[in-house]
Structure 1
């Protein structure tokens, strides 16, 4: 790994090519088809326009505050005036998988001396489930954290410890500001790597010893303490975290600890996109490779990254599903835990050049196949986006729009990616969007449109055919019967489930494409009111993750 021969997968041109390949799925779609991203885009529009558009201030409160969740929110401020909001968001999102691929390969290079062929198998994790879900601030923070960790390793290798301490005070704050999770993972990675480095330094000074002798002499305890001291430059965001999360305005509970069924599900969903068998087979391949590294005579684990992966595994086990009201906390960590474990693998001395080349070819092929499938999947999502968004051509600027998006109980593998379509009406037409997250302290925006009542914010936009257990989603008949018509001028139904047509009374059809339809509310005609007894859909079982 450190010899004079540099193989094709270890060259700079190959790294640059892999970075470029990683952005291919995102080139065609105008709006990256990530589940939550349209909702964030609506918030960005309010952020940029609330001072110039008076009715936005009637509907939403937007207050800047120092929170660990501002990555894209800050970047669009300089980029949107130059490129326009949608293109600016697209460019930022494109940068996320590119930085993720670069960070993984850079870490592998710093730890192993050369990029091992097995590291290529980790690259498809740039399009992991958290990214597909549209957690863009989180994903950007993690991409930055990976590259920051690579820099941390490089400066240690070069002996530039004082420079590292100086640089990582602002860098850690930058990663935290983007998203708290990235800063936490950076701390775990840096601590584990520094612990190994300190242990190795002590071993060099004191000579070889058995594992028991090292424990008896306190090598690991001393390494633990010294690693903590070296990681102090990363600690400043802890003060920011305490200030942020100690205020009375912060809402949201932390709970659902040790939900093993959900945790197992997150592992199977790491590469979840469109085709279930293909996606599960892909993660199964990665798990087989990780298992092979435990017993194979040709590949093994680096102690440095293996310890990092074990630390991340411990964090994953300890993390609850919900942290401060934010769901999927533990799920977000899984792909990066697996990615670090994969890049920890490296050839043993017994692996031939031909064997290493074959591993590189297979890893590269795996990445290209996943990228190809992702490109097709995103093209299909983009086609649907184009069809559905034609409805907005008939929505007036500033319309009081309520939107209902069809969903099903249970957890279908294929997510429709239209769950937050209402926010695109806010982003493109400055119309009201009832899908915005409204949790003080977690986002900069909160909904305050009182006439909308319980239909003011997320998840009021989601409707189902029946009542789903453990969900706030309404059956569509109930939603159409109960939403306050006087508070809105238009109703947009996006792929709704079947419903009783009597609820169309007082609604004038403006546009239709299949089951998706846009109605104008005729306020001269009353809607249909029905009692709760008449709306009593049955409940079906739904998995808890």
Structure 2
């Protein structure tokens, strides 16, 4: 593939194109995560509970009574594998923090490296894509996915570089094992790398057949010839990436693999994901930042001084097609299409570049604006994560009163509907498992999707996710229980302690047989008095009528 930059190789680099600037942007990307002891990502505490089980299963006998854990080759093992060598050195929490910190850093590095390989210089417009290192899927705590995507971006940059240098045999040798490792980290990263590599190969093969790239707009170039042959040759050159296809088939055809694929073409959800790519805490601020991204993309079509790279433009179109076709639920895992949205936008943004006619002053202005946009988002993210960390510290004081190995059931308050602001407390019960080796009823139990499943039969329907989520009323289309029903129905003989984390208001009569041990505001830890029975009520008596007023 020819470098699509018109600048001469001897031209002086501008400040935003230097290595020191790239290093500073990578360092800036980790600032929000420096303060929190536990990165405040929604699902991450739940994963940390699983890591504790996998590390201590052989030495803590009661864990074997509660959980099944069996190593198997699945496409979702990134951090699960990394904590094995790192946890004995750093401790589990610090090891996880160091790995998670590397994700936004690698994402920023990958985006800038791709831009450098395609354009020959980092265009100032590429800086606007950098805040997507903290995209909504990352905030949700899809850490294996996010790590795989960060690695995939850097792998794609390496793919482009080796093609530019004509080292195609070396590229095939490197990417044979690299594609397998990326699939093991998370299947999604491998799939996206395949889409990006294939689209880039199509452009490179087309250029090789036509002598060089044909001038004209992106749409005019796509219409011109040799694309069928380029498609075929691109597929052949991408064969080194195909080995995980066999692993994928073996994994998903196993006898114990659970989960359905469905909710196709949910346009309402897809539009929502496109507006929430930068969702964190402050809805108006996040939407305004997202609008900036779309304004920059629109600028590529309307501004005569800005154009799209044909290479990355085609990659963005391919990712858009995948986003449209991808269902919301894949093999039982929700939010499949949502995960792709921010990376699709990021590739489209770094596809932009100034045309030769744009003055240095104009390019510098774009670079300053892009850098300011990134730094403002990092500053806001730092404040947001500090606030989440304060909440974690306050709630986790309850664990000082939980004995090692306790049978703990936790109920975390939630409101109905998909809210912009997520408390990041949904899986905080797993920190009890991670720190106190206590039972945690928030673990996922989906055979084939995770290495861990629950087997604590006395807990019944209160043994795994989402039994930890409680609401004030019965939410439509949700498995969450109203808190009155949860407190009335959980099997008291199966548990020693009850931890309520920012619960909705409930009838205090359900505290019968529960002895308060610790309290902070509405959050409270109870010890179950097994000598005193709880209140039994029929379903007809449980009619939650209290509308929850959020305590945050």
1:94 aligns with 2:101: yes
CA pair 510-212 structure 1, distance change in 2 beyond 3 A: closer
Secondary structure (helix, strand or coil) at the match of 2:88 reads: helix
Report the Cα offset of residue 217 of structure 1.
Answer: 9.0
Give the 3 Å change call, closer, same or farther, for CA 151–214 of structure 1 in structure 2: closer
Aligned residues: CA RMSD: 1.8
> Equivalents in 2 of 1:9, 1:90: separation in Å?
29
Counterpart residue number, 2:550? none
Between 381-390 and 409-418, the greater mean CA deviation after superposition: 409-418
Gaps of at least 5 residues in structure 2 are 548-552
- Indicate which of 100, 118, 125 corresponds to 1:111: 118
* C-alpha displacement of 1:132: 0.2
Does residue 482 in structure 1 map to residue 489 in structure 2?
A: yes
Aligned to 2:164: 157
| Cα distance in 1 for residues equivalent to 2:343 and 2:65 | 41
Give how far 1:5 is off.
Answer: 1.8
CA spacing shift, 1:71–1:513, aligned 2, 3 Å: same
Query: Is there any run of 5+ residues in structure 1 with no aligned partner, and where?
Result: 541-545
Distance in 2 between the 1:213 and 1:358 partners?
Answer: 30
Residue pairs, 1:188-207, within 5 angstroms:
188-204=195-211
Q: Which residue of 2 aligns with 1:543?
A: none
Q: Is the 8 A contact 2:259 2:333 kept in 1?
A: yes
Distance between the aligned counterparts of 2:17 and 2:502, measured in 1? Answer: 48
Structure 1 consecutive aligned stretches of length 4 or more whose deviation exceeds 4 Å = 205-218
Structure 2 Cα separation of the partners of residues 208 and 113 of structure 1: 18
Measured after TM superposition, the shift of residue 537 of structure 1 is: 3.5
Pair 1:403–1:212, CA change in 2 (3 A):
closer
| 1:293 paired to 2:266 | no
* TM-score normalised per structure 2: 0.96
Say whether 1:57 aligns with 2:64: yes
Residue 284 (structure 1) aligned to one of 281, 287, 291? 291
Contact 1:434 1:461 survives alignment (8 Å): yes
Partners of 1:200 and 1:467 in 2: how far apart? 59
Label 1:399 to 1:264 Cα distance change in 2 as closer, same or farther (>3 A): same
Contact 2:218–2:310 at 8 Å: present in 1 too? no
Asked whether 1:433 is paired with 2:436, we answer no
Question: 1:448-500 deviations in whole A, cap 9, x for unaligned?
Answer: 00000000000000000000000000000000000000000000000000000
**Superposed counterparts of 1:511-522, under 5 Å:** 511-522=518-529
Residue-by-residue CA offset, 1:82-130 (whole Å, 9 max, x unaligned) = 0000000000000000000000000000000000000000000000000
Which residue does 1:337 correspond to in 2? 344
**1:450 and 2:457 equivalent?**
yes
> What's the counterpart of residue 136 of structure 1?
143
Where do residues 395-544 of structure 1 align in structure 2 (5 Å cutoff)? Answer: 395-537=402-544
Asked if structure 1 preserves the Cα contact closer than 8 Å seen for 2:129 and 2:349, the reply is yes
Q: 1:233 pairs with 240, 246, 256, which one?
A: 240
Q: Render the CA deviation track for 1:180-235: whole Å, top value 9, x for unaligned.
A: 00000000000000000000111108999999999999500000000000000000
Q: Does the 8 Å contact 1:467/1:473 carry over to 2? A: yes
Deviates more, 1:202-211 or 1:131-140: 202-211
Q: 1:206 to 1:453 in 2, by over 3 A?
A: closer
Deviations 1:131-167 (A, max 9, x none): 0000000000000000000000000000000000111
> Aligned with 1:196: secondary structure?
helix
User: Contact between 2:114 and 2:156, CA under 8 Å: does it hold in 1?
Assistant: yes
- How far apart are residue 538 of structure 1 and its match? 6.5
Distance 1:137 1:174 in 2: 12
Question: What is the SS of the residue equivalent to 1:533?
Answer: helix
SS at match of 2:541: coil
Go from structure 1 to structure 2 and tell me whether the alpha carbon gap of 1:539 and 1:504 turns closer, same or farther (over 3 Å shift).
closer
Alignment of 1:12-23 (within 5 A): 12-23=19-30
| 1:472/1:18 CA distance change after superposition, 3 Å | same
Is the contact made by 1:467 and 1:539 (CA closer than 8 Å) also made in structure 2? no
Q: In structure 2, do the counterparts of structure 1 residues 433 and 217 end up closer, same or farther at CA, with 3 Å as the change threshold?
A: closer
Q: 2:488–2:510: 8 Å Cα contact kept in structure 1?
A: yes
CA distance in 1, matches of 2:222, 2:505: 67
Contact 1:107 1:147 in 2 (8 A): yes
Could you tell me which of 377, 381, 395 is aligned with 1:374?
381
| Contact 2:484–2:544 (8 Å) recurs in 1 | no
Question: Aligned in 2, Cα 1:383/1:229: closer, same or farther, shift over 3 Å?
Answer: same
Structure 1 counterpart of 2:153: 146
Distance 1:107 1:240 in 2: 28
Q: Could you report, residue by residue, the CA deviation over 1:357-411 in whole angstroms, capped at 9, with x for unpaired residues?
A: 0000000000000000000000000001000000000000000000000000122
SS at match of 1:46: helix
Aligned counterpart, 1:253: 260
Query: Which one of the candidate residues 33, 36, 49 is aligned to 1:29?
Result: 36
Aligned in 2, Cα 1:116/1:445: closer, same or farther, shift over 3 Å? Answer: same
